[in-house]
């Protein structure tokens, strides 16, 4: 897939956390790249089996909420590394803007490759905040990004 920057990414996981975006992309990055909230219809986020991170999966009748991020080439590369893009393919999806359910837009999403299996447990941002110590998580990002 050829990209024309800036690209719009739909994030349904930890990239919704302002501190994570700031840690990865620089001070106040969240304010600079955040474009609004959106919903992906007929989908939901579930934990990956045996892991603490989510993947998107089809779920008829459900709605997956997330945010839209406008990214330049450098920012895109950082987030691809963070998301371990080898486990994902990039797809374009149609989303509905929060507060305007009839207004749609298109954005990119990291779609899981078939070797990643969803558990039966739904992932939520609030649930993630309850389980994770943010300071420890940011320290883990250092280890994950060390070879970038």
Q: How far apart are CA 51 and CA 116, in angstroms?
A: 10
Cα–Cα distance, 43 to 58 (Å, whole number): 4
Within-domain flag for 137: yes
The vertex-1 CA angle with 57 and 16, nearest 5°, equals 45
- Residue range 52-96, pLDDT digits in tens: 899 999 999 999 999 999 999 999 999 999 998 678 999 999 999
In a domain, 127, yes or no: yes
pTM across the whole model: 0.93
In a domain, 1, yes or no: no
Structural domain includes residue 111: yes
Specify if 148 maps to a domain: no
Structural domain includes residue 108: yes
pLDDT of residue 32: 95
Q: Is residue 130 part of a domain?
A: yes
Print the domain residue range for 68. Answer: 7-143
Does a structural domain hold residue 48? yes
Number of domains in the chain: 1
Please check whether residue 88 is in contact with residue 5, taking contact to mean a CB–CB distance below 8 angstroms: no
Q: What is the mean pLDDT of the chain?
A: 93
At 60, which CATH number? 3.10.490.10
């Amino acid at each position: 897939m050829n990209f024309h920057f800036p690209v719009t990414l739909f994030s349904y996981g930890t990239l919704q956390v302002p501190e994570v975006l700031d840690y990865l992309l620089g001070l106040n990055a969240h304010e600079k790249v955040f474009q609004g909230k959106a919903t992906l219809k007929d989908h939901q986020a579930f934990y990956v089996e045996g892991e603490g991170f989510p993947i998107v999966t089809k779920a008829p009748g459900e709605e997956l909420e997330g945010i839209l991020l406008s990214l330049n080439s450098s920012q895109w590369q950082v987030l691809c590394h963070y998301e371990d893009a080898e486990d994902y393919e990039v797809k374009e999806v149609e989303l509905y803007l929060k507060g305007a359910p009839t207004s749609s837009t298109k954005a990119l999403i990291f779609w899981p490759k078939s070797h990643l299996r969803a558990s039966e447990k739904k992932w939520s941002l609030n649930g993630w905040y309850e389980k994770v110590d943010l300071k420890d998580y940011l320290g883990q990002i250092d280890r994950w990004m060390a070879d970038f």
